[in-house]
């Protein structure tokens, strides 16, 4: 299932959410995936552990993060969640902090992660106009309109 369909089908969306640290921002995204049965609760721990060891390797561009861990970190099936933050939080990446859009990604294997899941996430975020819309979306209806207006994004 593609990114857009997944978000709406499993309702893994939280807009204008509040987080007081990068850890709690990551947790908002992984909690949605746990509720949807996409990952085990330990997926959160896997992301935090890797971040502490390697730094925030999943920061994509100013304001945007794609938290994820390896498939063996507790992925049940491939899926995504979208979190936007009312107040951005710092992840410790000087080029790109603070972050207010998080697309948490879980892929069932490395091939799926590299060839499909990452490509879908970055294709959505590779447009300033689209990112601005995402940041201002207040509810699911706003979000639906944004996705419906995207003719070049499947």
Partner 1 sequence: MKSRVIEIVNKTGLHTRPGNLFVKEAKQFESEIWVKKGEEQFNAKSLLKLMKVGVSRGDKIEIICEGPDEDKALDSLCELIASLEE
Q: Which positions lie near partner 1, rule CB under 8 A?
A: 54, 57-61, 68, 95, 110, 113-115, 118-119, 122-123, 125-126
Whole-angstrom distance, CA of residue 79 vs CA of residue 57: 19
Would you say 14 or 113 has its CB closer to partner 1? 113
Backbone angles phi and psi of 39, in degrees to 5: -135, 165
Secondary-structure breakdown of the chain: helix, strand, coil percentages, each rounded to the nearest 5: 45, 20, 35
Least CB distance to partner 1 at residue 141 (A): 27
Would you say 35 or 126 has its CB closer to partner 1? 126
Least CB distance to partner 1 at residue 119 (A): 6
**Contact by Cβ (8 Å): 38, 69:** no
Burial of 23: CB neighbours in 10 Å, binned 0-12, 13-18, 19+: middle
* Choice among 4, 27, 68, 130 that is catalytic: 68
Place of tokens 């080029």: 95
**Contact by Cβ (8 Å): 70, 42:** no
Active-site residue flag, 25: no
Least CB distance to partner 1 at residue 125 (A): 6
Would you say 87 or 110 has its CB closer to partner 1? 110
Least CB distance to partner 1 at residue 17 (A): 23
Would you say 115 or 145 has its CB closer to partner 1? 115
Centre a 10 Å sphere on the Cβ of residue 11 and count the other Cβ atoms it contains. Answer: 13
Catalytically annotated residues: 68
């Amino acid at each position: 299932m593609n990114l857009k369909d997944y978000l709406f089908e499993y309702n893994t969306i939280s807009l204008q959410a509040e987080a007081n640290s990068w850890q709690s921002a990551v947790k908002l995204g992984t909690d949605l995936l746990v509720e949807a049965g996409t990952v085990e609760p330990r997926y959160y721990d896997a992301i935090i552990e890797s971040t502490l060891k390697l730094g925030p390797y999943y920061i994509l561009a100013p304001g945007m993060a794609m938290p994820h861990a390896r498939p063996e970190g507790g992925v049940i099936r491939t899926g995504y969640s979208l979190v936007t933050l009312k107040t951005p939080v710092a992840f410790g990446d000087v080029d790109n902090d603070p972050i207010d859009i998080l697309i948490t990604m879980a892929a069932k294997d490395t091939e799926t992660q590299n060839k499909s899941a990452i490509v879908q996430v970055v294709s959505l975020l590779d447009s300033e106009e689209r990112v601005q819309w995402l940041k201002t979306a207040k509810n699911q209806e706003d979000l639906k309109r944004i996705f419906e207006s995207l003719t070049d994004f499947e």
